[in-house]
Structures are given as C-alpha cells and as structure tokens.
Amino acid sequence: MIGPHFSNPPVWPVSTKRVSSSENFVMEEGGQIKKTLYYSLCIICQTESEEDLVKNPISHKTVLNFIEERVKYGDWQYSEAWKSLSGISSDQLAASKASWHRKCYQDVAHTEKLKRIKER
C-alpha cells in the first residue's frame, strides 16, 4: 500500500512529466500550505510537454486574473495553479521569466468559458 489512501500510485499521462510530490509543498507563515512553482515549466499546468513555452510573454497579469477568477467561480481545474501563483505578483513572474504553453493560455483566458462558469 502506498500512502494511507492509495493502493496504487496515481498515474499521469505518459506524454507529460508532472511535478507532483509532497516535497513540492511548503508551509508559509500563518499555516497556509503553498505549492512550489517551477518557473522553468508552464506556470499554468506545471508540466513539460512537446509544446514549447511562449517566448517573451507579456500577459502575466492577465494569466493571474483569469486563474483567480476561474477558481473563485468554482473551476477547480485551475486550483493547483492558483495554489502556486497566489501571492505572486505579475512583476515577479515577469522578472522570473515565467511562461506558459500557448494552449494553456488560450484555455485559461477563454472569455466565453469564463462567462459560462460565472453563469452556473
């Protein structure tokens, strides 16, 4: 048995490398648990894939705003990203040369999808 809740370890898609283990979480002041953000990976999905990261991204504030909105309205697909990104400013992301996959950005910043989530 692996861990208290798994008889088998979780299986991730073969085409992506997912950074996921207990050492990727840190306890912050006030007892909040925060997920480690790897700036060398897509800041939205935190995976490596065949798709390249966007070179010279400029929409860090937009990404943060959309992820926050989506989680706020119950789109839990982005809750892991928000655990990593909450408390980080767009200026910090830009200074760290944080980037994303074009597809991840298109999905998170899709205004019609956000509109439907808000209407639920």
Whether pTM exceeds 0.85: no
Would you say residue 80 lies in a domain?
yes
Nearest to 53 by CA among 95, 99, 5: 99
Would you say residue 3 lies in a domain?
no
pLDDT, residue 13, reads 34
Would you say residue 5 lies in a domain?
no
Would you say residue 7 lies in a domain?
no
**Do 51 and 106 meet the contact criterion of CB atoms below 8 Å apart?**
no
pLDDT, residue 29, reads 56
**Do 41 and 97 meet the contact criterion of CB atoms below 8 Å apart?**
no
pLDDT, residue 31, reads 60
pLDDT tens digits, one per residue of 7-53: 433 333 333 344 444 445 444 556 655 678 999 999 999 999 999 99
- Segments forming the whole domain that contains residue 68: 17-119
Reported in sequence order, the residue ranges of the chain that DSSP labels E, i.e. its strands, are 17-18, 25-27, 33-35, 47-48
The neighbour count for residue 54, using CB atoms within 10 Å, is: 15
pLDDT tens digits, one per residue of 54-107: 999 999 999 999 999 999 999 999 999 999 999 999 999 999 999 999 999 999
pLDDT, residue 79, reads 93
Would you say residue 109 lies in a domain?
yes
**Do 44 and 81 meet the contact criterion of CB atoms below 8 Å apart?**
yes
- On the CB side of 72, how many CA atoms lie within 13 Å of its CA? 11
Alpha helices by DSSP H, 12-110: 60-72, 79-85, 90-95, 102-108
Would you say residue 102 lies in a domain?
yes
pLDDT, residue 120, reads 84
Would you say residue 8 lies in a domain?
no
pLDDT, residue 28, reads 52
Q: What does the DSSP 8-state code read for residue 25?
A: E
How many structural domains does the chain have?
A: 1
Would you say residue 12 lies in a domain?
no
